[in-house]
Chains A and B, each alone.
Chain A
Amino acid sequence: MPVLYGTDVSSSLLLGTAQYPSPKVLSDAIKASGSDILTVSLRRESAGSGAGGRFWELIRDLDVRVLPNTAGCHSVKEAVTTAKMARELFGTDWIKLEVIGHHDSLQPDIFALVEAARILHQDGFKVFPYTTEDIIVGEKLLEAGCEVLMPWCAPIGSARGPVNPDALRAYRAHFPGIPLVVDAGLGRPSHAAEVMELGFDAVLLNTAVARAGDPVVMARAFAQAVEAGRLAFEASPLEPRDMAVPSTPVIGMAVFE
C-alpha cells in the first residue's frame, strides 16, 4: 500500500466530495470504497463566513484523512492563499495543489504550479501537485520539494481514461520510488485498473463516482478495480506479443496418424 509523506495509506483509491446527489450518498459511497483519503475543495464549498459548517461535520464523521485542494485557482498567489486558508480550516499541512492554466480545458499551468509548490514547500506544506505527464515538470516539482507526483491521464472530468498510456509508462519508469498518483480523467474502473497495472501507486477521482447512476456501487467497483490493478502489477503480467503461443507444450505429444 502506498506511503504518502510518511503516512501509510490503506487504500489506493482517493476520492473527492463534489457533485454527489446528497451528503448521504457521498457518505455511503466513501464507506463502500474503503478509501481513507478525501480531497475537498476549499474555494467553492467553504469560502465565506462560517460556511460549509454542517457539510464538514458530515465529512469529519467519516473519519478519513482530508486532503484539501486548491481547485479553481488560476494563479500562484490565489493557490498559496487558498492553501493557507485550508491549513487553518482543516488543521492539515497536506495540500493538493491545482493551478489551472485554462478555464475550459482545466489544464494545469505547470510554470505557476512549480513556483507555487516551491513556496508552499518552504512554508512547511506537504504538496500533492496536479500536473501533466511531462517528465521534466515532474523533476522540477521534486526539486521544489514535492515527494508525491500526481499526473493527469486525461482532462479533469473528461472520463476518457489514459489517453497516453505510453507516456504514463515512461513516467512510472522515470520516477522509481516516488509515489505516483494518477489524478483526473478516469471514467471507468477499467481505466483505474489499467494505470494501476502500469505500477502507479494510487488513483484520485471524483466525477466518475459522484455522477455515476449509482455512486455507491460505482465506488465499490473502483475499489475492486484498483486492487485488481495493483495485484496484477505485483504479479508481473505478461508482455503482449505478435504470435500465438500454445498454452500446452506441443513437443513430446503423441502423434496419431
Chain B
Amino acid sequence: MQIVSWGNFMDVLIRGAGVAGLTLAHELSERGLSVTISEKRDGLSQSASWLAGGMLAPWCERENAEETVLIHGRKSLDWWSRVLPGMVRRNGTLVVAPPRDTAELSRFATRTNGFDWIASDKIAVLEPDLEGRFAKALFFQKEAHLDPRLALSALKGKLIEQGVRFEFGSDGAKQWGGLEIDCTGMSSRDPDLRGVRGEMMILETSELSLSRPVRMLHPRIPVYVVPRDENLFMVGATMIESHDGGPISARSAMELLNAAYSLHPAFAEAKIVESGTGVRPAYPDNLPRVTINGKNVSLNGMYRHGFLLSPHFAEVAADKIIEASGKVT
C-alpha cells in the first residue's frame, strides 16, 4: 500500500459537522488522533442530519436498498448505544398500510426480513392509541430510534470532552498543515454526488402518543411518523431528485399531512411547529463512500442513511486513513 504524506498526520481537520463528520471525529479521536472540526455554518442545526428521522431501521430500509445497508446498518444500534448511553430507544418499528393498500404490506414483507406479522390485538398492545385502526401490521422488534438533534448535540459534547476542537462559522479556507477530510455532504465538490431533496414536518399534539416510529406504506410516498419528546412528532420524508433546498412544497406538505392524518385523525388538530427541507448527498448507488486519493480524503454520500450507516463507514474510514498513513497508533 502506498504511504501518503499528510504533513503532520496526527493533526486532522474534518470539514463538516453533520453526522458523518461527528462520527468520524469520534473514531479518529478514539484512535489517538488530534481532531479539529470546521463547520462553515454557525451551528449543528443547518446540516441535513438535523432534519433526519433518526430511525435505526436497517431491516425496514432493506426493502428498497442493497443488503449492505442491512449488514452495516445493524451495527449502528450498538454504536449509538455505546457512544451515547441512554440515547437509543429500542422499541422497534411498526409498518402499517391503509386498508386498501394492504397489498403494499405483503410486497414490503417479501423484500426484507426481521419482522413479525401482527394482528390488531397486538397492535393495540404496542400502540394503544392505534387500537382498531389497522387489521394487521409488520413489527420489526429489533429496530430502534433516536432523536437526531439530541444525538448530534450530545455527540458534540462528548467530542469536546475528548479534546476535539470545533470551529463554527469558519470557511475552513485557511491553510491546514495536516490531513483534511471532507464530510461536507452537498457542499463537497465531488462530481459524483447528487442531491436528493427531502422535506419533513414536525407536528405537536398531546392527543396521542406513540412509542416507536410508524411507517405508513403508500404506493407513491411511504411516510413515517417518529415520536419525539414533548408531544412532538417528526413526519417525513419526501424523496425528490433535486438539489433544491428551498421551502417545502404545498404538494409535499399535503402528502405528509395526509399520511399523518390517515395514521390517526388526532393529527388533524396538531400544530405544525416546523417544516424543513434538507438535501441528502448521494452517489449513484445510494451507498456511502470513503475516498482516499492522495490529499483527497472524504466520507460522503450518506443519502437517507446518515445515522444508520455513519458508524460503520466512520470506522472503515478511520481504519483506512491510519493504514494509508503507514503509522501505527
Chain A residues proximal to chain B, CB less than 8 Å = 21-25, 27, 44-55, 58, 157, 211, 213
Cβ B242 vs Cβ A48 within 8 A = yes
Cβ B111 vs Cβ A213 within 8 A = yes
Bound complex: CA of A211 vs CA of B106, how far in Å? 13
Known contacts A23-B194, A54-B193, A157-B219, A48 near B110 by CB under 8 Å: no
Say whether B124 faces chain A, with CB atoms less than 8 Å apart: no
* Smallest CB gap from B246: residue in A: A48
Bound complex: CA of A50 vs CA of B242, how far in Å? 8
Q: Which among A48, A49, A53 has the highest number of chain B CB atoms within 10 Å?
A: A48
Cβ A45 vs Cβ B242 within 8 A = yes
Cβ B284 vs Cβ A53 within 8 A = no
Which one of A24, A51, A53, A211 contacts B286 once the chains associate, using CB atoms below 8 Å?
A24
Known contacts A21-B64, A21-B65, A54 near B243 by CB under 8 Å: yes
Cβ A51 vs Cβ B107 within 8 A = no
A207 to chain B, nearest CB (A): 8
Chain B residues proximal to chain A, CB less than 8 Å = 64-66, 107, 110-111, 193-195, 197, 219, 240-244, 246, 282, 284-287
* Smallest CB gap from B191: residue in A: A54
Cβ B219 vs Cβ A213 within 8 A = no
A59 to chain B, nearest CB (A): 10
Cβ A50 vs Cβ B243 within 8 A = yes
Which one of B110, B240, B282 contacts A45 once the chains associate, using CB atoms below 8 Å?
B240
* Smallest CB gap from B194: residue in A: A54
Bound complex: CA of A129 vs CA of B287, how far in Å? 37
Residues of A within 8 A of B287 (CB): 22
Cβ B284 vs Cβ A51 within 8 A = no
B99 to chain A, nearest CB (A): 13
A238 to chain B, nearest CB (A): 35
Which one of B195, B244, B284 contacts A58 once the chains associate, using CB atoms below 8 Å?
B284
Known contacts A22-B286, A24-B285, A54-B194, A44 near B66 by CB under 8 Å: no
Q: Which 10 A-B pairs rank lowest in CB-CB distance, beginning with the nearest? A: A54-B194, A51-B242, A22-B286, A48-B244, A24-B285, A55-B241, A24-B284, A45-B241, A51-B244, A23-B284
Residues of A within 8 A of B65 (CB): 21
